[in-house]
Amino acid sequence: MTKIGTEDLAKMQGFIEARNNPTRRNIVELVSQYVLADLPEGEEKSESLVMSRYHLSTDRGKEDLRDLYLDALAWLEEVDSGMVDEEVIPNE
């Protein structure tokens, strides 16, 4: 995957925050974590999370957000019950 510039990441983050209220931001975060759960930790995962959050915050991403939300909730239940050994949502 190609690297995204710091300025572009900051613009995406600003869009995400401006576009979503706090409740929807939490939903976007959950779905992003679910979609990228198998990606190893590192700089690429951080960029991928921002890009995923950005996509899910757009008009086109609304459908994906709706379609993946229930699966992400089920995944979160597995993580919380210890069936999946990983941290779900890191503290930011």
Three state DSSP letters for 16-65: HHHHCCHHHHHHHHHHHHHHCCCCCCCHHHHHHHHHHHHHHHCCCHHHHH
pLDDT digits (tens, 9 = 90+) for 28-63: 999 999 999 988 877 688 899 999 999 999 999 999
60 assigned to some structural domain: yes
- Which tokens sit at 57? 């915050």
92 assigned to some structural domain: no
The domain tally of the chain equals 1
pTM of the model: 0.80
Q: Is the pLDDT of residue 20 over 70?
A: yes
- Which tokens sit at 87? 């941290």
Rounded to the nearest angstrom, the gap between the alpha carbon of residue 64 and the centroid of all alpha carbons in its chain is 12
Measured from the Cβ of residue 66, the count of other Cβ atoms closer than 10 Å reads 12
Residue type at 71 in one-letter notation: D
Q: Which domain holds residue 65?
A: 6-79
